[in-house]
Amino acid sequence: MSIRTVCLVLAFAGLVACDNSSGNTIFVLPDTIGDTTTPDSVSDATTPDTTPPNPDSKLVAVLRDPSGAEVTAVDEIHHFGVPPAGSPCPTPLGTLSVTNDSTVDATVTVSTRDIVAIDFKPQGAVTVAPGETKVIDIEFSCASTDDISTVMDVTITNGTESNNFSTTLKLDVQGAP
């Protein structure tokens, strides 16, 4: 089955509206190359595409805010300035704890859908042995004065099972120099 797409360019508004044969309408905004935080579609601007983790998985993920409370999304504030009035740099935004209750090694990768001043430590693919828990720190690097609103994607797999999920990651940056 092929899907045909018909697009209408609304040049005066910088907008392209496309309908495909499946009945889906897609609105594409000017930033289609990913060079800014401007959304590429109307759905990106209103509701991020997020998926909760599978609660029945043997690859367990728990997201926590900086105080240690369990949360479903990252939503923090950074205050530029010298502590105690300002936030430290880098600023802790939370942690992701991954427990491997399976019998084989699991691999965890964490990324954001946009290029933003967020660091995950340790970086890259993290191996979690059977029965082990690893903690990945989520930090604002202070390399930008822009607010952040993106989606964080988490992939956990052990070759036979996976527990992949996505959640919002927001940071309100205040008092920028």
- Give the per-residue pLDDT at 113: 94
Q: Spell out the domain ranges in the chain.
A: 5-46, 59-174
3-state DSSP assignment of residue 79: strand
- Give the per-residue pLDDT at 24: 42
- Give the per-residue pLDDT at 20: 44
pTM of the predicted model as reported, rounded to 2 decimal places: 0.70
Instruction: Return the bridge partners of 171, or none.
Output: 76, 148
Asked, as a colleague might, if the bond just before 53 is cis with ω within 30 of 0, I would say no
State the Cα angle at 79 between 76 and 84, rounded to 5°. 110
- Give the per-residue pLDDT at 34: 43
State the CATH architecture for 59-174: Sandwich (2.60)
- Give the per-residue pLDDT at 48: 55
Return the residue matching tokens 């999920």. 165
Tens digit of pLDDT per residue, the chain (177 long)?
333 334 444 333 344 444 444 444 444 444 444 444 444 443 444 445 678 777 778 999 999 999 999 999 999 999 988 777 788 999 999 999 999 999 999 999 999 999 999 999 999 999 999 999 999 999 999 999 999 999 999 999 998 999 999 999 999 999 877
> 92: how many CB neighbours lie within 10 A of its CB?
15
Phi, psi of 12 (to 5 degrees): -65, -25
